[in-house]
Chains A and B, each alone.
Chain A
Amino acid sequence: MSLSRTMALLRKDLQLGPRSPIFLWALVLPVVITLLIQGVFGGLFEPRPRLGVVDGGASAITAALQELPGIQLVRYPDAAELKRRVESHNVDAGLVLKPGFDEAVRAGERPLLELYFSGESLASNRLILAVTTLDLVRAVAGQPSPVAVEVVQLGDGAALPLADRLVPLLVLYALLVAGVFVTSFSLVEERETGTLSALLVTPVALPEVLLAKSGLGLLLAVLMAVVTLALNGVLTSQPAALLLALLVGAVMSVEIGLLYAVLAKDIKALYTLIKSLNLFLLAPVIFYLFPDWPQWIAKLFPTYWFLDPIFQVAIRGASLTEVAGTLLVAVFICLALVPVLWLLARRAAV
């Protein structure tokens, strides 16, 4: 086996790759899916209160609202625009602070508090925005609080927010699109167009072709998984452990891609195979979304063994030592797939 020939094949694939729709899919889809899924599910199931403000006189209330975490503040130029936005539920509530509002409050003139709520806003968001605003108004009035409030946090935050539980889905998707799709389509396409047969009558050997195709999928899979983790803001302080877990994940994805490629007789059959078996590969992610489900079931799926180390390192900040056992199982699966692949590839003559 010649490394220079393998590298030449890989260079060719890297140069021609961007012309393929699949290559573009692998680059674009993980980004699009991340934005869509985090946007849709983050916004739909964990909605944050949004408050529109018209401030005619640099009120201290607006300044205080801006400092508050968790409330989205949007400024509007006039009351008519604010009411329109509130009515169409672009914001949950709207606050109009006329010029001299703060001064009137301090002077005890009891000015009108124009706080409007959208008919479509959740009752909980109305409550949050109303009591927060009233509290700030009382602070402006200088009323001493009749009570001291002490906040006691319980639990260690072991339960994760939905945004974090969605990360395994997104990172696995990035690995599979690049590792499985790109590798398998590239190989089957070459076989269908006959360029593979032409290549094999030259000094290039079958293992060199398989290695070059694997290299392409591997590079792209690791790259897109890193991009996905970065987009989700979970690139960890344990880069070595994360990179190793991603690398193992990319290797297994590429091997699955090669397996599909040797099993499918043409592009359409390959697409059928991918669409049918993807559920099996993606199955472990459901157990991260529903942590109350029996977690041992996730371990029945091969992708779990690299996905869990990625999750533990990226989300929970685990070290390499802590995930070594799981990662070793993934490495073992990768190694076990090599002879299977080799036999199938030879039998199918790719």
Chain B
Amino acid sequence: MNRPVSRLAIIAAIIRKDLLEFSRDRLWMILTPLTLVMFTAIFWLMPYQVEETVTVGVAPGALGRALELLGSPGLRLVAFASEAELAAAVAGEQPDAPPLSIGLAFPEDFLLRAARGQPATVRVYVDALVPPEVRHAMTSAVREVAYTLSGAPLPVSLLAAEEVVLGTDRMGQQIPPRERFRPLLVFLVLMVEALALASLIAAEVSSRTIAALLVTPVRSADILAAKGLLGTVLAFAQAFLLLLVTHSLGGNTAALLLAVLLGALLVSGIGLYTGAAGKDFIGTLFLGALFMFPLMIPAFALLFPGTASAWVQVLPSYGIIQAMVGASHGQGFVELAGYFTSAALWVVAVFALGWLALQRKVTSP
């Protein structure tokens, strides 16, 4: 009567059952699409470019064109015919003018006066919201223009142009907020699925159905493999979908997907652990959040300029996030090998922790 059943068939049967339970869970059936929609909306609402120039109005217009010759890449000059028009534009009273918060009103004969070294007064119109460093920089810039026009030499010598910029010069090619946010959004989607898996496991543990399975031909290893696989597939699928709808599969797609897969495995391990260790639904969520916050830090660190601190670099998610960023910029497997190795080691450690915690729950009487 006993027909031998393969382990794969058993694991597949458990996954089918879990998927059915997942589909009946109103919370996760609402939360999963809601999260996806929300994160996709956040992504597309984020600015897609970095505004790195200061727009300054100049009057009179002829002078604006002369000053343009002295222009800097961080400065965009808009010419106005008269000081009155300029002031109106800064005050927001000129609907046709471009949005402007700073205006420089030079006297009509400024060029002549400056060249002769005669004193002149320049009015700097600023909106109340212009930050103090920009106001100060504009007054400094006006003085510098006057010094230059009057022929006053710089009291210092300057570095050669090629020595001035350290690191890859990104002027005009800054990473927009949308790009900076992407790894964080992907990681949040992964974490939501980890919480879903944890909740599924916690419910089975508390109702003891997980232990009841062991009186059938199912072994504890089958249950663990099925849960781990389900969590990984669910998390990976959600993250993949997010990457798809946010047009983020560029760069080195294979490396990007490997990084996301490692992320899915990592959060699955966390799901196994929190599901087994949490006493109830709220306890599981709380435990999940305790893992979630530190794991999000490497993705948050991307939002800030500068290198992440050493302690951030040892967090389990650091390698995954860095590999995601590198892969998005087209880096290859060899360049990302270090990140992949550290991520894989963490995945093994966290998965083992989750596996052990769940095995204890499954096999304990």
B-contacting residues of A (Cβ < 8 Å)? 20-22, 24-25, 32, 36, 39-40, 43-49, 68-71, 83, 85-92, 94, 105, 108, 110-120, 122-128, 130-132, 134-135, 137-138, 140-141, 143, 145-157, 159, 161, 185, 189, 267-269, 271-272, 275-276
Task: Give chain A residues whose Cβ lies under 8 Å from the Cβ of B155.
Answer: 105, 108, 110, 137-138, 140-141, 143
- In this assembly, does B134 line the interface, its C-beta being within 8 Å of a C-beta of chain A? yes
A267 to B157, CA, bound (A): 70
B303, A40: Cβ atoms closer than 8 Å = yes
Distance (whole angstroms) from the CB of A243 to the closest CB of chain B: 29
A94 to B25, CA, bound (A): 56
Q: What are 11 residue pairs bridging A and B, where the CB atoms are less than 8 Å apart in the complex?
A: A21-B286, A24-B286, A71-B133, A92-B305, A110-B153, A110-B157, A123-B53, A123-B171, A147-B146, A154-B87, A155-B127
B26, A25: Cβ atoms closer than 8 Å = no
B133, A70: Cβ atoms closer than 8 Å = yes
Task: Give chain A residues whose Cβ lies under 8 Å from the Cβ of B154.
Answer: 110, 134, 137
Interface majority SS on B: helix, strand, loop or mixed?
Answer: mixed
Task: Give chain A residues whose Cβ lies under 8 Å from the Cβ of B180.
Answer: 44
B91, A155: Cβ atoms closer than 8 Å = yes
B143, A145: Cβ atoms closer than 8 Å = yes
Distance (whole angstroms) from the CB of A24 to the closest CB of chain B: 8
A145 to B177, CA, bound (A): 40
Task: Give chain B residues whose Cβ lies under 8 Å from the Cβ of A154.
Answer: 87, 90-91, 125-128
- In this assembly, does B9 line the interface, its C-beta being within 8 Å of a C-beta of chain A? no
A152, B146: Cβ atoms closer than 8 Å = no
- In this assembly, does B159 line the interface, its C-beta being within 8 Å of a C-beta of chain A? yes
Task: Give 9 nearest A-B pairs by CB, closest first.
Answer: A70-B133, A127-B74, A157-B128, A123-B74, A135-B140, A21-B286, A119-B167, A141-B155, A90-B306
Interface 0/1 of B113-153, CB less than 8 Å to A: 01001011111111111011111110111111011011011
Complex partner residue of A272 from B26, B165, B282, CB under 8 angstroms: B26
- In this assembly, does B291 line the interface, its C-beta being within 8 Å of a C-beta of chain A? no
- In this assembly, does B215 line the interface, its C-beta being within 8 Å of a C-beta of chain A? no
Complex partner residue of A123 from B131, B163, B172, B283, CB under 8 angstroms: B172
A115 to B129, CA, bound (A): 29
- In this assembly, does B66 line the interface, its C-beta being within 8 Å of a C-beta of chain A? no
Given contacts A89-B167, A118-B165, 19 further A-B contacts (CB under 8 A): A69-B133, A91-B306, A113-B156, A113-B157, A117-B166, A119-B169, A120-B168, A124-B51, A137-B155, A145-B147, A146-B117, A147-B146, A152-B124, A152-B126, A154-B128, A156-B128, A267-B281, A268-B25, A275-B34
Task: Give chain A residues whose Cβ lies under 8 Å from the Cβ of B137.
Answer: 127-128, 131-132
Instruction: Name A43's closest neighbour in chain B (CB-CB).
Output: B304
Complex partner residue of B135 from A47, A114, A130, A151, CB under 8 angstroms: A151
Task: Give chain B residues whose Cβ lies under 8 Å from the Cβ of A45.
Answer: 47, 177
Complex partner residue of A115 from B34, B73, B164, CB under 8 angstroms: B164
A185, B282: Cβ atoms closer than 8 Å = yes
A271, B74: Cβ atoms closer than 8 Å = no
- In this assembly, does B307 line the interface, its C-beta being within 8 Å of a C-beta of chain A? yes
B140, A132: Cβ atoms closer than 8 Å = yes
Complex partner residue of B144 from A123, A131, A140, A148, CB under 8 angstroms: A131
Of residues 39 to 68 in B, which have CB atoms within 8 Å of A's CB atoms?
47, 50-54
Complex partner residue of B282 from A132, A141, A145, A267, CB under 8 angstroms: A267
Distance (whole angstroms) from the CB of A65 to the closest CB of chain B: 11
Residue with the highest number of chain A CB atoms closer than 10 Å, among B53, B155, B283: B155
Task: Give chain A residues whose Cβ lies under 8 Å from the Cβ of B132.
Answer: 68-70
Task: Give chain A residues whose Cβ lies under 8 Å from the Cβ of B159.
Answer: 112-116
Q: A268-B281, A269-B26, A272-B31 are in contact. Are A44 and B147 (CB under 8 A)?
A: no
B282, A21: Cβ atoms closer than 8 Å = yes
Q: A40-B303, A128-B137, A154-B91 are in contact. Are A146 and B146 (CB under 8 A)?
A: yes
A-contacting residues of B (Cβ < 8 Å)? 25-27, 30-31, 34, 47, 50-54, 72-75, 87, 90-92, 114, 117, 119-129, 131-137, 139-144, 146-147, 149-150, 152-159, 163-172, 174, 177, 180, 199, 280-283, 285-286, 289, 293, 300, 303-307
A275 to B285, CA, bound (A): 13
A122, B75: Cβ atoms closer than 8 Å = no
Instruction: Name A49's closest neighbour in chain B (CB-CB).
Output: B133
B142, A149: Cβ atoms closer than 8 Å = yes
Distance (whole angstroms) from the CB of A190 to the closest CB of chain B: 13
Distance (whole angstroms) from the CB of A62 to the closest CB of chain B: 15
A185 to B293, CA, bound (A): 22
A57 to B112, CA, bound (A): 40
A147, B166: Cβ atoms closer than 8 Å = no
A138, B143: Cβ atoms closer than 8 Å = yes
Q: A157-B128, A267-B282, A275-B31 are in contact. Are A124 and B133 (CB under 8 A)?
A: no
B150, A36: Cβ atoms closer than 8 Å = no
Distance (whole angstroms) from the CB of A191 to the closest CB of chain B: 14
Instruction: Name B151's closest neighbour in chain A (CB-CB).
Output: A146
Instruction: Name A119's closest neighbour in chain B (CB-CB).
Output: B167
A88, B129: Cβ atoms closer than 8 Å = no
A120, B167: Cβ atoms closer than 8 Å = yes
Residue with the highest number of chain B CB atoms closer than 10 Å, among A49, A85, A118: A118
Distance (whole angstroms) from the CB of B315 to the closest CB of chain A: 16
A20 to B171, CA, bound (A): 50
Task: Give chain A residues whose Cβ lies under 8 Å from the Cβ of B149.
Answer: 146
A117, B165: Cβ atoms closer than 8 Å = yes
Task: Give chain A residues whose Cβ lies under 8 Å from the Cβ of B165.
Answer: 116-119
B128, A138: Cβ atoms closer than 8 Å = no
Distance (whole angstroms) from the CB of B100 to the closest CB of chain A: 10
A267, B280: Cβ atoms closer than 8 Å = yes
A159 to B99, CA, bound (A): 13
Task: Give chain B residues whose Cβ lies under 8 Å from the Cβ of A39.
Answer: 304
Task: Give chain B residues whose Cβ lies under 8 Å from the Cβ of A161.
Answer: 129
A198 to B131, CA, bound (A): 61
Distance (whole angstroms) from the CB of B198 to the closest CB of chain A: 13
Task: Give chain A residues whose Cβ lies under 8 Å from the Cβ of B119.
Answer: 146-148
A119, B170: Cβ atoms closer than 8 Å = yes
A146 to B122, CA, bound (A): 11
Task: Give chain A residues whose Cβ lies under 8 Å from the Cβ of B120.
Answer: 146-148
Complex partner residue of B152 from A20, A92, A143, CB under 8 angstroms: A143
Distance (whole angstroms) from the CB of B93 to the closest CB of chain A: 9
Distance (whole angstroms) from the CB of A232 to the closest CB of chain B: 18
Distance (whole angstroms) from the CB of A213 to the closest CB of chain B: 16
B168, A119: Cβ atoms closer than 8 Å = yes
Complex partner residue of B157 from A112, A118, A138, A140, CB under 8 angstroms: A112
